[in-house]
Amino acid sequence: MIERVTYFLGQSIIGSAAAVFILSMAPGIGLSLMIPMGVYLGLPLPLSALASILGNLAPVPIVIIFISRIFKWMRTKSKFLAKIADKFEEKSKSRGETRYRRGEFLGLLIFVAVPIPFIPGTGAFTAAMIAGVLNTRMKTAITAIVIGTVISATFVALATHGLRVMFFY
């Protein structure tokens, strides 16, 4: 899929960086997959990390502001959508309450900062959903998510660099 996006955007550093940026926005993909993928596409590691961080953070304010409204709207449209909204909201609340209700900032930061590859639901997008559902202050949520994302990207970038050195040099 990334090859198609890169081909569409142009097979250059700018096209590859744009592909990494765009695909980093998707929930479940995030940093842990896109930083190594950017390196695979030929991007320098710092550029791949920067594009991934910015892409991962782009939808965060929108999700925090609108997630409750989106769930409310889904409940009015059909029973099926109401069921999906209830499931997501219940999952967000259970993850949020157990992981960061005592100390919102630190809990949210840790939730985002620990990169668990191939397990969706531990990145900035899910943290933004949790913050929106639990009505966390915008400043607290965004600050924690940004710092956690940078920490997570640092871990993934170091692992990517280490594996690249170990296997390809």
Instruction: Count CB neighbours of 85 within 10 A.
Output: 20
| Cα–Cα distance, 42 to 23 (Å, whole number) | 16
Do 118 and 145 lie in a common domain? yes
At 79 the pLDDT is 85
pLDDT value of residue 9: 65
Domain that includes residue 35, residue range:
2-57
Banded model confidence at residue 163, pLDDT cuts 50, 70, 90: confident
**Do 124 and 72 fall into the same domain?**
yes
Chain segment 115-144, per-residue pLDDT in tens: 776 566 678 888 888 888 888 888 989 999
The CA angle 120-142-139, to the nearest 5 degrees, is 150
Q: Does 145 fall in a domain? A: yes
- Per-residue model confidence as pLDDT tens digits over 80-123: 888 888 887 777 666 555 555 567 888 888 888 887 765 666 78
The pLDDT value given to residue 149: 92
Alpha carbon distance 92, 11 (integer Å): 38
Q: Are residue 73 and residue 149 in the same domain, yes or no? A: yes
Range 94-131 burial, b when 16+ CB lie within 10 A, else e: ebbeeebeeebbebbbbbbbebeeeeebbbbbbbbbbb
Can you give the pTM of this predicted structure?
0.79
pLDDT in tens, 28-81: 777 888 888 888 888 999 999 999 999 999 999 998 888 878 888 888 888 888
Distances (CA, A) of 112 to 68, 71, 92: 20, 22, 14
